[in-house]
Structure 1
């Protein structure tokens, strides 16, 4: 298996696991604020990956801080939007990030390859058929769109930062810790009440309720964050940002499938058509792929 194909397969696994996070987080939003979900999820992952920060190079840590800053806003916009709209609609709009990466390339003076353009058209058609459920535009949709725009920028920055990193897991640990720190700051400045009695009740409620949903948090923190973002960094160091964007376009399809098994949401004939278009987009994205120099970073 060559370097490029191994990276594509890694990003496919990443996307499938990401699909499970929609029903997992949707279930949690009934009892927790978006910031608390993000904080617990990334704090767990940060603890697991903390050893990789030992003797990390300054450039790797700084790359992680930049990526973590962008990733925090990706999640805050996504989860805030998820509380205000349906999971399918949120997945569709967040999936528009597949257009952001090529657009950034065009702004930089580089047109995307024709196979990527065709793959993007198929992916967007699939997203529309799979997830669009009608209705007027709302605040939740705006937040989801902001998440898509931020995630597109995140993917483009990650392409540059992971290619020149010395230790991928140091970058990953740094970015996950940065997300947890920003979530904690956001929580304490914007959400935690100021009155003493309210503070006690606030933390008592969070402690008791978090204990009831520890499986959700453990899965999101250990599997969907620590393990998967590590795999994402490894896989994307072997692919281009455009190829990664097409792979990520499959996320709403995975979300619909897992939503059916987790939350009982039905997948209609239109949904199956959307999934087929998404898979076609992934296949087309790999036709006649141009050769590329070997990456400068070996996997850890």
Structure 2
């Protein structure tokens, strides 16, 4: 087997693992708030990647900190949306982030290329069919997923610039993942830790007992998300991208929402009707068209899903 084929297979594994994160996090939203899910997942990954922070350059830490702050809001919108809609629907809408990057060129006064216009039309038609499926219409969860797509698109654009300035890319990656965990912790203590006006001590004891029970019960889920989906898969992504072309990687990544829908069916029993699958096909087609023959992205620009 050639190195090129091994690289393609590595990226296929990456996309399949990414697809499982949507039902895995969706299952956790039944017990935890979105920020608790983000904190636990990224705290585990930070502990595993912490050796890359040893003797880190200040520049790398600053770049990672800025990227991590933006990435935190990406996940905040994504997981908040997951709690309010199905994981397969959330995955397809979040996948539109690949269209955001070229559309950001409009802010610089550049007209979009023909392939971007075609991709945008396919994506709009896909969203219409997806929302028509089952008569559910557009909801708040879908709006949050779309905000996640927009934020992920902006994050990717900033990441492309910042990773070129990095001295050690894995240090930047570890720093941004640690920043996501830190932001989640600050958010929790500012907004979610109980502050009862009658019996603060009792409220806090019940709250932490509830959280502790959940962490023990869902430990396998968090271990899977933190160890495999966040820390380990980054290394495989970097290895695979270094051995494939930008177009090949773009086409493989476009099928991530399809993987999410596949695993959502077997993991959570979520299913889509004919119109939903038509919308999914149109969305995936739009993602592929938008990335085909696009400017090559840095092979080592790493982002967990």
The answer to whether TM tops 0.5 is yes
Partner of 1:200: 205
**Aligned CA distance change for structure 1 residues 30 and 82 (closer, same or farther; 3 Å):** same
- Match runs of 1:239-254 below 5 Å: 248-254=253-259
Worse-superposed segment, 78-87 or 112-121: 112-121
Distance 1:96 1:297 in 2: 21
SS in structure 2 of the partner of residue 166 of structure 1: coil
SS at match of 1:31: coil
Distance 2:12 2:128 in 1: 20
Q: Which deviates more, 42-51 or 114-123?
A: 114-123
Partner Cα separation in structure 1 for residue 188 and residue 267 of structure 2: 29
2: CA distance, partners of 1:210 / 1:95 = 29
Matches within 5 A, 1:84-233: 84-115=84-115, 117-119=117-119, 121-122=121-122, 125=125, 129=129, 133=133, 134-194=135-195, 195-231=200-236
CA contact (8 A) 2:45 2:230 kept: yes
* Cα RMSD (Å): 3.6
Q: How many residues align?
A: 295
Q: Quote the Cα distance in structure 2 between the aligned partners of 1:296 and 1:248.
A: 13
CA distance in 2, matches of 1:270, 1:296: 36
1:129: Cα distance to partner? 4.8
Paired with 1:269 and 1:233, the residues of 2 have a C-alpha distance of: 36
Aligned partners of 2:93 and 2:142 also within 8 Å: yes
Q: Note the C-alpha offset of 1:158.
A: 1.1
CA positional deviation for 1:40: 0.3
Per the normalisation by structure 2, the TM-score is 0.80
Instruction: Find the aligned partners of 2:259 and 2:299 in 1 and give their Cα distance.
Output: 32
8 Å CA contact 1:155–1:245 kept in 2: the answer is no
Counterparts of 1:284 and 1:95, CA distance in 2: 13
Q: 1:297 to 1:286 in 2, by over 3 A?
A: closer
Whether the 8 Å CA contact 1:85–1:140 is kept in 2: the answer is yes
Instruction: Specify whether residues 297 and 253 from structure 1 end up closer, same or farther in structure 2 by C-alpha distance, changes over 3 A only.
Output: closer
| Cα 1:200/1:234, change in 2 over 3 Å | farther
Q: 1:115 to 1:298 in 2, by over 3 A?
A: closer
2:79 aligns to what? Answer: 79
Separation in 1, partners of 2:8, 2:57: 27
Deviations 1:100-154 (A, max 9, x none): 1111123224455544554555566556556763434433233222211111100
